[in-house]
Amino acid sequence: MLCFLPVVLRKIIWKDQFVEKLEQKHGVSVAEVEETLGAKPHIRKVGKGRVRDENVYAAFGQTTGGRYLVVFYIRKVSGAVLPISARDMDDAERKYYDRQK
């Protein structure tokens, strides 16, 4: 499944295994991840990927419903993003996000 986003993040690649984890473990919907990524999140590199030039990033943002999420994804060489996890921000992440605005 693909989703196209404005500006920097144009395409999302969804894999069933990650969608299930988002919903079952963290209670985050695909729509909430898409809203967060599409709303100009603050993005930070958090790790080196297993594939050359495909690193892991965290996107700190807010859904249209006001939920504060951090979305972890792999930025593919093609420019597409592959979300691998998402959850509510903890207190420290929320403070970090608020300082970035």
Average pLDDT over residues 14-27: 93
In one-letter notation, the amino acid at residue 2 is: L
Q: Is the pLDDT of residue 5 over 90?
A: no
How many C-beta atoms surround the C-beta of residue 11 within 10 A? Answer: 14
Residue 9: pLDDT band (50, 70, 90) is low
Residue 77: pLDDT band (50, 70, 90) is confident
Q: Do residues 32 and 69 lie in contact, with contact meaning Cβ atoms separated by under 8 Å?
A: yes
pTM: 0.86
Write the pLDDT tens digit of every residue in 89-98.
999 999 999 9
Sequence-distant (≥ 6) Cβ neighbours of residue 94 within 8 angstroms: 68
Q: What is the pLDDT of residue 68?
A: 97
Q: What is the pLDDT of residue 51?
A: 84
